[in-house]
Structures are given as structure tokens and as C-alpha cells.
Structure 1
Amino acid sequence: MTPERSHPPVANPAFVERLAVPVRWWVIAVFFVVSVFIAIAFYLGPLNGALITAGSAVLVLAVLIPYGNARVTVDDRALTVGPNRIEWEWVGGAQALDAVEARRRLGPGADARAHLVVRPYLPEAVEVTIADRADPHPYWLVGSRRAGELAAAINARVARSQERTDADA
């Protein structure tokens, strides 16, 4: 696992997904900012209301934009989830989890050592088994809108990596 911020670009990734914040969250954020303006402008005047509202809008953007910018990428070299990356030789496989099973893996069936990249607005997830005994994470749990496709792409890359390893041996 390599926790790097920038990774070399890949020409043909097998799977790419941005874990974007849903539109309803943006609508709620707009109503929040408007209600801040109304409350502050009524109590302290329109100028103070505009200044405090601008600050609250910046705060909302500073939270929602990075939270929704996490990307999941499956390419020839590695699985990249947000800033984290793991090469195929260290991945054991992947299993798509429906909403019920994903919830169980986040609750009573969870391992506290797992690496989680989940979002509350993504009910499905993919459990990625880690084959590196030195890695402190037994698995990664990755939220996805297309869990079946992500698991299939990961398993295909793992199989291809194992074929190369077997051919080299």
C-alpha cells in the first residue's frame, strides 16, 4: 500500500468511479446557508448576515468538495482508492456486498483493523481482501454505486496478476 497523493496517469483504467456527494446534500447545504443568512441578517443586519453567510458557505464547500472527490480506480498496476494505492500482488480478491451485508460489515461483523472508504449515501460496498501478511489491514471496505462492476474488475486484475506470477515462476 502506497499512501501517495498523486499517482501516474493510466491510459485505460478498467474501472473508475468518483464517490461524489449526491445532489440532495448540495440542496441541503444551500438551504443551510440561506437559513444562516436569514437568521443572522434578521438579528445583526444584512451586511453582517452577508459576511457570516459567506464564511458559512466557504465552510460548507470546504467540507463537501473534498469528501466527494474520492476516486476509485482499477488499472493495470494497482487499486487506487482516494489517496491510497495497493498493487495487485498484495490483493487477494474482492467480493461485492449488498446493502444488508455492507451494513453488517460496518457494524457487528466489522474488523477494527479494516481500511474503510465508505460514504453514508453509498449503501453497497466491495470487500477487498489483502494478501500481504505485513499489512495491518486484513481487508479494505470500499463504498461504491457499482459494487458488482468494481468487484469484477478487481478480481479480473488479480487473476491476471496471478497468471503473470505463475508464468514468471
Structure 2
Amino acid sequence: MQYQERLSPGFGTWILIVCAGVASFFVGAPISITVGVIAAIVVTILLGLILYLSSPVIEITPEFVRVGRAQIEREYVGLAEGFRGEAARIAAGPQLDGRAFMCFRGWIDPKIRIDITDPADPTPYWLASTRHPEKIEEILNAGKELGTPAETVS
């Protein structure tokens, strides 16, 4: 395994899960305090597990790249480019190709674009949220031609 990242919910989402648990307590409390506490614990744990376990994973090995439900062999992976801030917004908005595979999470702003070179695949690239676009870019671009002019042989 060269890289692995779970696109789990951000801090704000976890606060909302706790708030849902507190709200469940107030719904169950008129029946009894015990019911309210049990409802709060069950709702908080259940929502937390659902969100965490359903979070997509970015995984890079020497053999394949996986982003969420999409997987491709490394031989068909082209160059990768990371984006942050305004560049990430533009990459996921005005410059987005509708044929691209997308795996976005609203709580993760940076993006990584991974070019797909498989001639049988109509998907030109994958665009995914990631907390570490530079690390993924470094791993996937290692040993690849980065747009430098080719040397001519005389």
C-alpha cells in the first residue's frame, strides 16, 4: 500500500451527529430518562457508523488506484494534478468535463485530478476530494514525463 485515505466526515458533521443524539434524548426523555439516554446513544453511534463506513476510500498500490467505487490498473493512470482553494473550485466547476468520474465531499476542499489513459475507457479523468493532493500527485507522477520537452537524438 503506497497511500490510503478515507474521506470521512469533517468536524462540523460530527457535531451535527452529536446534536442529533441530543435531540433523540429530548424525544425519549418524556417517556423516561433511561429511554432518552438509550435513544441518544443509539442514534449517535448509528449515524456515526453509517457516515464513517459509507465514506469513500482513496487507495494506491503498485498494481491499482481506487477512488470510492472506481478502480483502475496503474498502467492506465496518467499524470495527476492537485488543486487547492480557487483552483479546486474551478476544476470541480467551470472546467469540469461531464464524462469525468467524480468523488467529491463537501467538507474536503482540495481536489486531485487523475488522468485516465485507457483507450477503451471513455472517462478522461477522475476528480476527487482529498486532504493530501500533493502526496497523491507525488506518488502517481513518480517516474513519469511531466511535460518537459523530449530530447532529440541527432
Q: TM-score, normalised by structure 1?
A: 0.71
SS state at 1:150 partner: helix
Q: Distance in 1 between the 2:67 and 2:32 partners? A: 45
Q: Distance in 1 between the 2:2 and 2:35 partners? A: 50
Deviation at 1:145, TM superposition (A): 0.9
Structure 2: gaps (5+ residues): 146-154
1:1-169 correspondence runs (5 A) = 13-42=1-30, 46=33, 49=36, 53=40, 56-57=43-44, 59-68=46-55, 70-156=56-142, 159=144
Deviations 1:44-87 (A, max 9, x none): 5546645654663355135312233x322222111122342211
Structure 1: gaps (5+ residues): 1-12, 161-169
* More helix as a share of residues: 1
Deviation at 1:40, TM superposition (A): 4.3
Q: Distance in 2 between the 1:59 and 1:113 partners? A: 35
Q: Is the 8 A contact 2:108 2:129 kept in 1?
A: yes
Supply the AA of the counterpart residue of 1:132.
D
CA RMSD of aligned residues (A): 2.5
SS state at 2:99 partner: coil
Divergent runs of 4+, >6 A: none
Q: Distance in 1 between the 2:52 and 2:78 partners? A: 32
Match of 2:151 in 1: none
The count of aligned residue pairs is 145
Q: Is the 8 A contact 1:21 1:67 kept in 2?
A: no
Q: Distance in 2 between the 1:60 and 1:136 partners? A: 36
